[in-house]
Amino acid sequence: MPTYAAPVKDTLYVLQDVLEIGRYANLPGFANASPDVVEAILGEAGKFSAEVLQPLNKIGDEAGCKRNDDGSVTTPPGFKEAYKQYCEAGWPTLTAPEEYGGQGLPQVIGTAIGEYVLSANHSFEMYQGLTSGAIATLIIKGSDDQKRTYLPNMVTGRWTGTMNLTEPHCGTDLGLLKTRADPMPDGSHAITGTKIFISSGEHDMAENIVHMVLAKIAGAPDTVKGISLFVVPKFLIKEDGSIGERNRVSCGALEKKMGIHGNSTCVMNYDGAKGWLVGEPEKGLAAMFIMMNAARLGVGLQGLAQGEVAYQNAVQYARDRRQGKALKPEEREEGARADPLFVHPDVRRMLMQMRCWNEGSRALVLWGSLQVDLMRRSQSEEERQSADDLVSLLTPVIKGYLTDKGFETAVLAQQVFGGHGYIREHGVEQFVRDARIAQIYEGTNGIQAMDLVGRKLPKDGGRAVRALFELIGSEIKESKAAGDPAGVAAALEPALADLQAATMWLAQNGVQDPNNAGAGAYSYMNLMGLVSFGWMWLRMARVSARALDDGSQDRQFHEAKLATARFYADRELPESTSHRRKVEAGAESVMALPEEVF
Amino acid sequence: MPTYAAPVKDTLYVLQDVLEIGRYANLPGFANASPDVVEAILGEAGKFSAEVLQPLNKIGDEAGCKRNDDGSVTTPPGFKEAYKQYCEAGWPTLTAPEEYGGQGLPQVIGTAIGEYVLSANHSFEMYQGLTSGAIATLIIKGSDDQKRTYLPNMVTGRWTGTMNLTEPHCGTDLGLLKTRADPMPDGSHAITGTKIFISSGEHDMAENIVHMVLAKIAGAPDTVKGISLFVVPKFLIKEDGSIGERNRVSCGALEKKMGIHGNSTCVMNYDGAKGWLVGEPEKGLAAMFIMMNAARLGVGLQGLAQGEVAYQNAVQYARDRRQGKALKPEEREEGARADPLFVHPDVRRMLMQMRCWNEGSRALVLWGSLQVDLMRRSQSEEERQSADDLVSLLTPVIKGYLTDKGFETAVLAQQVFGGHGYIREHGVEQFVRDARIAQIYEGTNGIQAMDLVGRKLPKDGGRAVRALFELIGSEIKESKAAGDPAGVAAALEPALADLQAATMWLAQNGVQDPNNAGAGAYSYMNLMGLVSFGWMWLRMARVSARALDDGSQDRQFHEAKLATARFYADRELPESTSHRRKVEAGAESVMALPEEVF
């Protein structure tokens, strides 16, 4: 059976030593996030995840969800009870605004805890996880009445939320959507259409489900500009706020999937369901993007989460399993017929690779969440703008790169297990199947790359990317001045130069032929991800070198950080050159072959 | 539903234009492989694969195999009937020696056909595929009596074969195996022990199953040097060659796996089963390696096969699915609400990537099989030796690199499908799950890398690798002299230089510290795979450029080859630098972290 222990110590290191969240104690919510409170919260969340949620992960995979004849959906054994406990412990309220019953803690704390929940049980997390996005959208775009009606119960987790975008013929290209909204005399709309791939669309864990649905109002342009957003509850809400009659929305089928079997992925049929417009008509896409951006950081987090749990299990297996002997006689265990897998350099290579990606991912996604907090809560307009610029730029990278690395990590972990990783028993093949979805949903990673190159780079004349380069460049200088711990600065400098050159190349060649931008987008995203992790390792190497200089009691921890940073510098950063060359190769050889020849 | 059409045209191109098998018409078996015969055989095999085997692939995945209470195993619906047809058509006899009822055709033709069968139905192929290895072993190591007893029925496919190496506590490290063989008065041995992960260990498709089993004879050294090989039939054979009583070997359980559900992966219990020594006692490992080496080329072929079918389905989906519009207005379809996925450069990038890997894989694995033929059949001692050297060197690369690329290709194909690739309906997620095993079994790809670096490189003072470098180097020169079609020579030259430098580095630093060899082995294997594909693209570019110069009627085909070669040169070969740098980074940062810190 797979095991899991929340990496609380590493999270605390990132929050307190690397991101220094203590510096923001003057901001709303941060004051409540004192070091001891944060440590207690992380500890509790880790415990709950490991003890309650993780044991249900394999059960969820094996039992899956069942759609009953009446269209109701039964979640895997134990999920409903665990969700009840989860809500009773108040976990859904953590980062929600206090005025709706939340605890108002910073998003960065929510992200830290989200990792544990996701590592323990990805499918379970999605029942509540998508609710956060729906809450954020209602807070920003909803009417006062809508906020009053929905938010308090969503914040406690009694009601969950969904996002309804995709239809059978339209995924990425939302302009094609056919779901229509007909205005009704009472001010509501009758929503009619079919939505697919709706995560947590129907289930038995919450008293109500609040669907956020994209549709076109009769007469609106039949393009992306004609899309409006509606809130459509599973059960209508009575005047007194209690649950009323069933709305005309139902689950038509459950999808059979490669993984995340514990989550109900629904075909949702809207058959004149009552819905209420959220925000202005025909501005649905902008509203949806509030949800999408939060969701994309959350999906990046899923990459890390699957990578972390896969890594932990691979480490355990490499310790327990004995096979072959160390290449160097002096490293062999005396009298043993075989040494643990750990002694083999190629196994160690895989473990180090996973480790440097996971710790890099954790630092980057928490950094991103902190920017979200600063963007919302900072008292300085300049700091808000800067945080907004940086996190907007890097959101597609966090989504795309972290999920790619999360999947690769799960695959590597499976490889450490050898044949035992291919059979179900050890649970590691589930990590591979579950991790795979994160590269696909909320915009495939190819779409993230296009968003990065086509939208985020040129925005505001490239202000964000220039700021990022300046920031990383100045930290490289500082690190060099401080003796360049673990040699990260020396390795990151040419990688940053490659990224800058690739950026320049795209700026010059992407406008004249947009296919150049499209053909290089994915390699560019990889290059920016590589450099962003390098930037985090630069920070971590400096922080840990300083801690050692300052006589830290925890030498082993900081020495491990420096060793992992060195691995990243030696073995990962050299990839910058080939990414750059792929960008600079342009569209020609990518587009040369005519379609009919394929 | 997934589709498949055998790439007969490309196979013929590789066999006839690139490898020029016509040059070997003087060798045994090759005389029968005239161009029209080969074309007819490939056409028939492709048809059978596409029409009979491919429709069973998804059924096999969904139904899986069932172990009945009496220990018998029922294969998925349709498998048994298809196998009967397969044998009746004589497919298993194709490359088997004529003296045992085979057709004696070259291995390279068997490999060509094997690709189609594997693309259509990986799980199905494994029932017969492992039999070939067992046949090869019996031919080389078996007694005349054993050959007479087993081979004729194995050659026709009436009986199938298995390989029994792995035990619960020992996979790679065969020295640990516990299965024992007690000599019996009648000259047989009583085999007792448990073997796991036995593909096709028990099933209902053949009249008998011939297990090749590794065990230690009582009193033998309890190390890898004490291993002997035994042949253990499921049913004992009577004097007259007919099936006799049941042997004491049975299937204890079926493994639940990530993929290849259509194949029965068995726990096999040997409970004093009657077995007969094959070859000399305590020389079992050498005998097993005959099987292993053939099997490793076959597993490399599985990588290609999964990549090819995944690619074909992705191409079809990219044609059919419309989503978004072309970046360049002039490439948009007039009046259409959305263009096919094909117009998007990032989709095209994925398709070209798959294409250049598949075609490179096909050329390399067929080249490898031709070497096996030359090694066995050439009349020149020098040519036999050279073929043996080259294929021995590149066998771990073909196994490791082709299966890595096959898996990556399947993952890319799934990515082209977006969300529709994650659900079961389109069948593409099955390709991902099925492709994954090939990176693991017959020695994980990490083991292949170690075999390459630790055994194959230094063998005979590096004779094989020097010959390979010389061969590629001289072909680069020739190609340059011929105008360097598609620019492959110019791109391959520095990649070859990186490979040579990395080889030199390993030679110098791997002996003084073997962990340097171990830490760099995987990157080295990738580098050699990259260069080997580049070598094949160099050849294909020259062949196709020449065909165009000679006024070939099939301009489109050869122009596509050149465009794909250009893509490989532009977008793949630049990776050589980072592989080399990873090798040269050595073991230090890989091994720095003490085990207890993980």
Measured between beta carbons, the chain B residues lying within 8 angstroms of A415 are: 439-440, 444-446
Nearest CB to A419; choose among B440, B446, B581: B440
Contacts of A171 (CB under 8 A, 6+ apart): A197, B323, B418, B419, B420
Of B344, B445, B515, the CB nearest to A518: B344
Residue closest to A208 by CA, chosen among A179, A182, A183, A231: A231
Q: For residue B289, what pLDDT is reported?
A: 83
- Using one digit for the tens of pLDDT, what is the confidence trace for B486-498? 999 999 999 999 9
Q: Do the chains contact at B595 and A342, CB–CB below 8 Å? A: yes
Mean pLDDT rounded to a whole number for chain A: 97
Chain B partners of A322 at a C-beta cutoff of 8 Å?
A: 173
- Please determine, for the modelled complex, whether the ipTM score is greater than 0.85: yes
**Per residue in A511-567, pLDDT tens?**
889 999 999 999 999 999 999 999 999 999 999 999 999 999 999 999 999 999 999
CB contact under 8 A, A574 and B578: yes
List CB contacts of A284: < 8 A, sequence separation 6 or more.
A214, A215, A227, A228, A229, A278
Confidence band (pLDDT; 50, 70, 90) for A291?
confident
Candidate from A437-441, B9-13, B327-331 with smallest mean pLDDT: B327-331
- Residue A562's alpha-carbon distances to A17, A351, A358, A488, in angstroms, are 14, 16, 15, 9
CB–CB contact A440 B421 (8 Å): yes
pLDDT at A294 over 90: no
Asked if B196 and B267 touch (Cβ cutoff 8 Å), the reply is: yes
- The span from the CA of A231 to the CA of A135, in Å, is 11
Determine the distance in angstroms separating the CA of A413 from the nearest CA of chain B, rounded to an integer: 12
Q: Which of A442, A572, A588, A595 is catalytic?
A: A442
The verdict on a CB contact (< 8 Å) between A518 and B345 is: yes
> What pLDDT is attached to residue B1?
87
**Given this model, what pLDDT does residue B210 score?**
98
pLDDT band at A289 (very low <50, low <70, confident <90, very high): confident
pLDDT band at residue A295 using 50, 70 and 90 as cut-offs: confident
Nearest CB partner across the interface for A436, out of B172, B328, B422: B422
Instruction: Read off the pLDDT of residues B69-125 as tens digits, 9 standing for 90 and up.
Output: 999 999 999 999 999 999 999 999 999 999 999 999 999 999 999 999 999 999 999
Indicate yes or no: CB of B415 within 8 angstroms of CB of A589. Answer: no
A319/B595 CB distance under 8 A: yes
Tell me the longest C-alpha to C-alpha distance in chain B: 85
**Mean pLDDT along residues A345-356:** 98
Tens-place pLDDT, residues A364-418: 999 999 999 999 999 999 999 999 999 999 999 999 999 999 999 999 999 999 9
Chain B residues whose beta carbon lies within 8 Å of the beta carbon of residue A515: 327-328, 345
In angstroms, the CA B391 to CA B370 distance is 9
Contact B324 A173 (CB under 8 A): yes
Q: What pLDDT, on a 0 to 100 scale, did the predictor assign at position A103?
A: 96
Contacts of A433 in chain B (CB under 8 A): 258, 433
Average pLDDT of A219-230?
95
Residues of B with a known catalytic role: 442
Q: What pLDDT shows up at residue B294? A: 80
Q: How far apart are CA A300 and CA A395, in angstroms?
A: 9
Do B176 and A323 make contact, defined as CB atoms within 8 angstroms? yes
Nearest to A440 among B418, B425, B513 (CB): B418
Nearest CA to CA, how far is A539 from chain B (Å)? Answer: 19
User: Mean pLDDT, chain B, as a whole number?
Assistant: 97
- Which residues in chain B touch residue A349, judged by CB atoms under 8 angstroms apart? 519, 522, 590
A556/B415 Cβ within 8 A:
no
Q: What are the C-alpha distances in Å from A462 to residues A402, A511, B135, B221?
A: 23, 14, 65, 70
Contacts of A578 in chain B (CB under 8 A): 574-575, 577-578
Phi, psi dihedrals of residue B550, rounded to the nearest 5°: -80, 5
Nearest to B446 among A342, A346, A444 (CB): A346
What pLDDT is recorded for position B281?
A: 96
Q: B536, B398, B521: which is closest to B458 by C-alpha?
A: B521
pLDDT at A287: 87
Which chain A residues have a beta carbon less than 8 Å from that of B299? Answer: none
- Amino acid B165: pLDDT: 94
Q: Kindly list the distances between the CA atom of residue B594 and the CA atoms of A352, A383, A414, A416, A559, in Å, as whole numbers in the listed order.
A: 11, 41, 22, 18, 10
Of A255, A519, A595, the CB nearest to B345: A519
Q: Cα A239 to the chain's mean position, in Å?
A: 37
Question: pLDDT for A14-73, tens place per residue?
Answer: 999 999 999 999 999 999 999 999 999 999 999 999 999 999 999 999 999 999 999 999
Report which of residues A136 and B357 the model is more confident about: B357
Q: B3: exposed, middle or buried (C-beta count within 10 Å: 0-12, 13-18, 19+)?
A: exposed
Q: How far is A340 from chain B (nearest CA, A)?
A: 10
Cβ B517–A327 below 8 Å, yes or no?
yes
pLDDT in tens, B117-144: 999 999 999 999 899 989 999 999 999 9
Which chain B residue shows the shortest CA-CA distance from A431?
B258
Tell me what percent of the residues of chain A surpass a pLDDT of 90. 96
Residues B555-574 have a mean pLDDT of 98
Contact residues, chain B, for A340 at CB < 8 Å: 595
Q: Taking CA atoms, what residue in B is nearest to A329?
A: B514
User: Which of the residues B264, B349, B555, B576 would you substitute to probe the A interface, choosing the one with the greatest number of A C-beta atoms within 10 Å?
Assistant: B349
Give the whole-angstrom CA distance, residue A509 versus residue A588.
12
Please indicate whether, in this complex, the C-beta atoms of A422 and B437 are within 8 angstroms of each other: yes
Contact A345 B591 (CB under 8 A): yes
Contact B522 A349 (CB under 8 A): yes
A146 Cα to chain B: minimum distance (Å): 31
Distance from CA of A88 to the nearest CA of B (A): 34
Question: Between A and B, how many CB-CB pairs are < 8 A?
Answer: 261
Name the H helices within A203-327: 284-320
Q: Which of B259, B567, B578 lies closest to A589 in CB terms?
A: B567
Q: Contacts of residue A342 in chain B, CB cutoff 8 Å?
A: 595, 598
Q: Are B492 and B538 contacting, i.e. CB atoms less than 8 angstroms apart?
A: yes
Interchain CB distance below 8 Å, B519 and A348: yes
Distance CA A208, CA A234 (A): 6
> Using one digit for the tens of pLDDT, what is the confidence trace for B286-332?
888 877 888 899 999 999 999 999 999 999 999 999 999 999 999 99
3-state secondary structure of B194: strand
Let me know if A22 is exposed, middle or buried by CB neighbors in 10 A (0-12, 13-18, 19+).
Answer: middle
Q: Do B593 and A564 touch (CB under 8 A)?
A: yes
Say what the pLDDT of residue A290 is. Answer: 78
Which residues of A fall within a CB distance of 8 Å from B422? Answer: 257-259, 436-437, 440-441
What band does B511 get if pLDDT is binned at 50, 70 and 90? confident
| A147: closest CA of chain B, how far (Å) | 32
Separation in Å, CA of B540 to nearest CA in chain A: 16
- Nearest-CA distance A280 → chain B (Å): 25
